[in-house]
Structures are given as structure tokens and as C-alpha cells.
A = this chain, B = another copy of it.
């Protein structure tokens, strides 16, 4: 079992009101690097910030790291277009991988096909029996909406904000499609075109690794660890003609928001769905980080739902204990939460 984290950036995240993955636009650019370092080392090392939402909810990387500290699993972070440097160990797929442009530009990911090919080769090279693939990319639910719309698929997506700015995202995507001279549904069966027009560089990375692992003949099982962003990757894979078994593992927070729609999407794209509840509403827990997750902040990301799905029965309380420790280490106060995106 290996957890792969595709970490990248899109300028789409800088559009006002789109993302809560970081307290300010300047600091948000460091979120994927910081998430990678938290997963690898337990805290940010080179990144100048601990990602917390404007209201102080810590990044899902803190949850994924907590699971890792309890049960242990191998990690590989793939550079899928990081905007800022990191000292987390990262897999370098090649020079074509760069942060994505704003989807309202003509091309959001000009090298989508090359990224997919390199990621495919990498995925095919991995000897693991089981891969769990997550993402960290601020703005990723908007680009998920982008590719789903371009593919002509149903387009509900989740949000890292408690009030989902879905209408705003739809307007951004509509502008993006118009800028690329595309109608909704125009990219049916041509998923790399959809990414190139209105996607982000994490999408061809995750899809490529998944397709390569599934098609290599070594029988690797692939779980897409995430919510609506991974539904979009599943759609991309199915439109690419990949028909191997595929699973999605996400959190109860995503399911609480999108329940029936999520199940319908998984059925549509022929994915097994696993939903895991970390029990942050346990009555003895009053840590503000857990309270904020229960209030619908953050919800998912950095393979959180997939990591939680690996926790054996009876160990979730250990994960919650560890999450408190990790929050302490990250300077998230149990009563007041994190200070929005403070530098270190």
C-alpha cells in the first residue's frame, strides 16, 4: 500500500471567493508545499506557513499525517505543478509540469497530454499492489467542475468553504469554456482536451498514474482518495476508455454535503465508494479543529478520506488522539484554532 499525493497549483484559485485552502492568496500558493511537508515530516519545513482556513480550520494534511503516525504507510508526493518550492521529497515527472493557468485563459493546462503520458509511465512502473492517490491543489473543485462540464457530465462539486460558492464556480467555468471556444459537453470522449481547456495539472497527473497502474498488468488496485475532485478524475478516466475497476474513498464530511449525488456519480462512473467518518463529533472531543470539520469546513483533501479508510476497526480514537498532538505541533490551539495562515 502506497499513498501518492499529487501536489500542484492553478491560478484559478486566486479568483476571489473560490477556495479556503489558505488564508490569503499569497500564502495559499504555499499550501500544496506545506501539505506535502506535513505528510512527509509532520510539520512544514521549508514552507513558510501552516495551511489553515480563514476561520482557523487546519489543512486535511494534518488528518492524513495523523493516520500515518498511527498506522504507518509509504508516501510518494508527485510534483504536479507546485508553485512554490518544498523540501518534501517529490517525484519529478519532467519539465512539462507547471502550475495551471486560470481556467478563463485560452488554455489552462497546455501540456495536459504530456503530463498524462509521463504520469502513465510512472504509474505503470510502480510495483505496489495497492495505490491510494490523493491531491492538494487550491481551486481544485472549480477545475473539477470545469472538466465535468466540458465532458458533459453532471456537475455538482464540493467546497472547502462551509457555504459552497457553486454559482460563482459555474460562472468561472462558463467563462473558461467560452475562452476556449467550447460548449458544455464538447470534450465528451476527449478528456485531455477538457483538462487542457478548463482543468488543472493535478488532474492529468492523477489520471495518468491511475491509468498506468491499472493498465500495467501487475494488478495494482487503485483508490482515488478524495471527493468531488476525484469524481472528476474518475470521469476523465472513463472518458479515456479506462474500464478497469476503480474505487473512490472519501470522508463523511463530503458525503454529508453531497450524499445522493456522490453515490449517483460513483454509479455513473462505475466506482466503488467508501465513506469514512473520523468521529470528530465524539462527545469527549472539544478540539476546535474537529468542531470545524464537523461544521463543514475543509471536508476533504490530501488523501484524507482514503487515509481514514485504512484505519482498522477500533483505532479511530487513536487517530483522534494523534490529530490533537499533530494540531499542537502545528500551533493549532484546541480552543481558538489556528490563526488564519500565519507565517512561521
Q: Which residues from chain B contact A85 at a C-beta distance below 8 Å?
A: 92, 94
Whether A72 sits at the interface, judged by CB under 8 Å, is yes
Interface residues on A, range: 20 to 34
Q: Are B87 and A89 in contact (CB under 8 A)?
A: no
In chain A, positions 33-88 with a C-beta closer than 8 Å to chain B are 40-43, 45-46, 72, 75-77, 85-88
CB contacts (< 8 Å) of A127 on chain B: these are 41-43, 45, 329
User: What is the CA–CA distance of A261 and B86 in the complex, to the nearest angstrom?
Assistant: 41
**Min CB–CB distance A81 → chain B (angstroms):** 15
Say whether A15 faces chain B, with CB atoms less than 8 Å apart.
no
Task: Determine whether A190 belongs to the interface, using a CB cutoff of 8 Å to chain B.
Answer: no
Contact B91 A76 (CB under 8 A): no
Q: List residues of chain B with CB within 8 A of the CB of A46.
A: 122, 125
A64 to chain B, nearest CB (A): 15
Q: How long is the Cα–Cα vector from A291 to B340 in the complex, in angstroms?
A: 59
Distance between Cα atoms of A127 and B91 in the complex (Å): 22
Q: With A40-B76, A76-B40 as given contacts, are A125 and B92 in contact (CB-CB < 8 Å)?
A: no
What's the nearest-Cβ distance from chain B to residue A83, in Å?
A: 14
Q: Say yes or no for A126: interface residue by CB 8 A criterion.
A: yes
Kindly state the separation between the CA atoms of A88 and B94 in the bound complex, as whole angstroms.
13
| Given A41-B127, A125-B46, CB of A89 within 8 Å of CB of B76 | yes
Cα distance, A94 to B85, chains bound together (Å): 9
Chain B residues in 8 Å Cβ range of A91:
87-90
What are the residues of chain B within 8 A of A45 when measuring CB–CB? 122, 125-127
Per-residue contact bits, chain A 121-139, to B (CB 8 Å; 1 contact, 0 not): 0100111100000000000
Q: Which residue of B lies closest to A45 (CB)?
A: B125
Q: Which B-chain residue is minimally distant from A75 (CB atoms)?
A: B89
Chain B nearest CB, measured from A302 CB (Å): 16
Q: Which residues of B contact A93 (CB under 8 A)?
A: 87
Residues of B within 8 A of A41 (CB): 126-128
Chain B residues with CB under 8 A of A72: 72
Q: Could you tell me the distance between the alpha carbons of A66 and B46 in the complex, rounded to whole angstroms?
A: 31
Residues of B within 8 Å of A76, CB to CB, are: 40, 89
Question: Which residue, A72, A77, A126, has most C-beta atoms of chain B within 10 A?
Answer: A126
- Residue in B42, B90, B329 whose beta carbon sits within 8 Å of that of A89 in the complex: B90
Instruction: Give the complex CA separation of A45 and B85 in angstroms.
Output: 25
Mark interface residues in A305-341 (1 if CB within 8 Å of B CB, else 0). 0000000000000000000000001000000000000
Q: How far is the CA of A46 from the CA of B125 in the complex (A)?
A: 7
Which residues from B are CB-within-8-Å of A43? 127
What are 16 contact pairs spanning A and B, CB under 8 A? A41-B128, A43-B127, A45-B122, A45-B125, A45-B126, A72-B72, A75-B89, A77-B89, A85-B92, A85-B94, A87-B92, A87-B93, A88-B89, A88-B91, A90-B90, A90-B92
20 additional contacts, CB 8 Å, given A45-B125, A72-B72? A41-B126, A41-B127, A42-B127, A45-B122, A45-B127, A46-B122, A46-B125, A75-B89, A76-B89, A77-B89, A85-B94, A86-B92, A87-B93, A87-B125, A88-B91, A89-B90, A89-B91, A90-B92, A92-B92, A127-B329
